[in-house]
Amino acid sequence: MSPPLLVAEEEGQSNASMVASASSQPLDRFSPNEARLKERNYLGLSDCSSVESSTAPSLSGGKKENLNLKATELRLGLPGSQSPERDPDLFSLNSAKLDEKPLFPLLPTKDGICSLSQKTVVSGNKRGFADTMDPEFPGNAGINMMLSPKPAGVQPTTVKEIPSKVLQERPSPANGTGHNHTGASISGSAPASKAQVVGWPPIRSFRKNSLATTSKNNDEVDGKPGPAALFVKVSMDGAPYLRKVDLRNYTTYLELSSALEKMFSCFTLGQCGSHGAPGREMLSESKLKDLLHGSEYVLTYEDKDGDWMLVGDVPWDMFIDTCKRLKIMKGSDAIGLAPRAMEKSRSRS
């Protein structure tokens, strides 16, 4: 390391309009006294010594000191203004903070966000992660009124101490157009109170939207989170054995019925095994299709109550929720249902 060089550069610079020396700030509002700088400087990095020290002084020591000094320190901030505590455990609520309230929030309270959290009057220019959480407005410029720079870099990811309220304030994550999408999804279970920031984590909007679509599609098919398979038995009158299908593989009735057609094509011609030549397969499949559309066969299912229902009446998600097994009935067994089946299959194809 060559600290002297850097220090010299800083001091040597004479910018006509700005005093570049690091030890004094040119504008008034940048002039919190240096005593304060040092006090809040957890890592002991004062203006010059930071360059010389090769290892950061132990953090815990500094922090302890700080905590003790906090109550007595000379501050230019508003009474009651609280610099957010660094919270090592992200997901635990800092119970101490629940008691403190900002006495004079300088900001006009925007939709009560100020009243919700401690973050509003942050004395320092380094905004904590939580501070930027502002789902209502595109710009966060308003939040940070205290413009004095604070060298204390340890801004915590302040957990909202009233998470439920915050979640209500926030627009529904599912509808979020863009910025809070990711954060909302992260805050599924345990991190429910995690602050959400525009553009963080830095994932391309395209990726976020694309994956949201995929999980929505999966949900449509699944009806519940997680890609567990939903195998149901499929029986066909006259077939020597049953088959099983995974209802999650399909998203429409059409897909299901064409899959079943292919699966059971061998049985209609009295042949087992559909591994014949392609020509033969296609023949049997189309024959089955004709048979189905000619209402010789009807697709039915047994629902949770044990009743046999005609496939196709209810929306797909409802169907896979209630379907326990499938049965391809002969039309003759499905008298009364058959004409409707014909109409239904015609309108679907």
Among 139, 270, 279, 306, binds other proteins (CB under 8 A): 139
Q: Least distance from C-beta 39 to other proteins, angstroms?
A: 14
Q: Which residues ranging from 62 to 121 are in contact with other proteins (CB under 8 A)?
A: 86, 88, 90
Strands (E), the chain: 231-236, 243-246, 297-302, 308-310, 325-330
Residue among 69 and 103 whose Cβ is closer to other proteins:
69
**CB-based contact 93:117 (threshold 8 Å):** no
Q: Least distance from C-beta 346 to other proteins, angstroms?
A: 23
**CB-based contact 347:257 (threshold 8 Å):** no
Residue among 54 and 347 whose Cβ is closer to other proteins:
54
Among 33, 115, 210, 349, binds other proteins (CB under 8 A): 210
Radius of gyration of the chain (CA): 34
Residue among 149 and 342 whose Cβ is closer to other proteins:
149
Residue among 250 and 297 whose Cβ is closer to other proteins:
250
Rounded CA-CA distance 129/154 in Å is 10
Among 32, 77, 128, 331, binds other proteins (CB under 8 A): 128
Q: Least distance from C-beta 84 to other proteins, angstroms?
A: 10
Q: Which two tokens stand for residue 150?
A: 């604070």
Residue among 66 and 342 whose Cβ is closer to other proteins:
66
Residue among 285 and 302 whose Cβ is closer to other proteins:
285
Residue among 244 and 346 whose Cβ is closer to other proteins:
244
Rounded CA-CA distance 299/265 in Å is 14
The piece of 64-72, 225-233, 304-312, 338-346 that touches other proteins (CB under 8 A) is 225-233
Cis peptide before 201 (omega within 30 of 0): yes
**CB-based contact 187:135 (threshold 8 Å):** no
Q: Which residues ranging from 264 to 323 are in contact with other proteins (CB under 8 A)?
A: 274-275, 281
Rounded CA-CA distance 24/293 in Å is 87
Q: Which two tokens stand for residue 312?
A: 């196709």
Q: Which two tokens stand for residue 183?
A: 């954060």
Q: Least distance from C-beta 337 to other proteins, angstroms?
A: 26
Rounded CA-CA distance 322/318 in Å is 6
Residue among 236 and 245 whose Cβ is closer to other proteins:
245
The piece of 224-232, 287-295, 322-330, 334-342 that touches other proteins (CB under 8 A) is 224-232
Asked if residue 7 binds other proteins (CB under 8 A), the reply is no
Among 227, 238, 294, 315, binds other proteins (CB under 8 A): 227
Q: Which two tokens stand for residue 317?
A: 């998600």
The piece of 149-157, 160-168, 307-315, 338-346 that touches other proteins (CB under 8 A) is 149-157
Residue among 317 and 330 whose Cβ is closer to other proteins:
317
Q: Is 231 helix (H, G, I), strand (E, B) or coil?
A: strand
The rounded Cα 288 to chain-centroid distance in angstroms is 46
Q: Least distance from C-beta 235 to other proteins, angstroms?
A: 16
Q: 176: phi > 0 → left, psi -120 to 50 → alpha, else beta; which?
A: beta
Q: Which residues ranging from 237 to 266 are in contact with other proteins (CB under 8 A)?
A: 243-246, 248-249, 259, 262-263
Count of Cβ atoms closer than 10 Å to residue 152 Cβ: 21
**CB-based contact 100:158 (threshold 8 Å):** no
Q: Is 123 helix (H, G, I), strand (E, B) or coil?
A: strand
What length does the chain have?
349
Q: Least distance from C-beta 236 to other proteins, angstroms?
A: 15
**CB-based contact 82:91 (threshold 8 Å):** no
Q: Which residues ranging from 8 to 67 are in contact with other proteins (CB under 8 A)?
A: 9-10, 13, 15, 17-18, 20, 22, 25-27, 30, 41, 43, 45, 47, 50-51, 55-56, 59-60
